[in-house]
Amino acid sequence: MIKQLAHVCIHAKDLEETEAFYCGILKCSLGFEFFRGETRMGFYIQLGNQSFLEFFSGEPGEVGNIRHLALEVEDMDVLIQRLREHGVEVGEKKRGADHSWQIWCKDPNGVDIEFHQYTPESLQLRGGRCEVNW
């Protein structure tokens, strides 16, 4: 059912410094960037096999700075049914600004989990600019 890790979202104090570390020092590739108008809000770092680290500008929270865990799935509708059959409260299925299907739920420890199903238009597969309105 689960295909692979889609991404882990982390708040970054300094986006440029973070990009320099991951792309410059560690030689990872920049996947795509998030913008609100002309303001760069964040970016994806590609880890291979369509797995990413997602960084957004903001103050880190608790130890680890992880905002949520995202998992890529093969069939979102089958997953939704399975989660609901097991009594898990699932958010509404929607197509995100990155053109991927997504739903959200919490694990038993309260960790937010975002499930992604990529589409042919998904920026995770094509790259590009993601315009956000949140």
pLDDT of the residue at 12: 85
Residue 128 CA to residue 100 CA, distance in Å, equals: 13
Mean pLDDT across 72-94? 93
Instruction: Please give the biggest Cα pair distance in the chain.
Output: 46
Binning pLDDT at 50, 70 and 90, where does residue 122 land? very high
CATH number for the domain formed by residue range(s) 2-131: 3.10.180.10
pLDDT of the residue at 35: 96
Please, where are the H alpha helices in the chain? 15-19, 76-85, 123-126
Domain boundaries, the chain: 2-131
* Nearest CA-CA partner of 60 in 13, 20, 21: 13
Q: What is the pLDDT of residues 34-69, one digit of tens each?
A: 999 999 999 999 987 888 989 888 776 654 557 788
Q: What is the pLDDT of residues 100-113, one digit of tens each?
A: 999 999 887 777 88
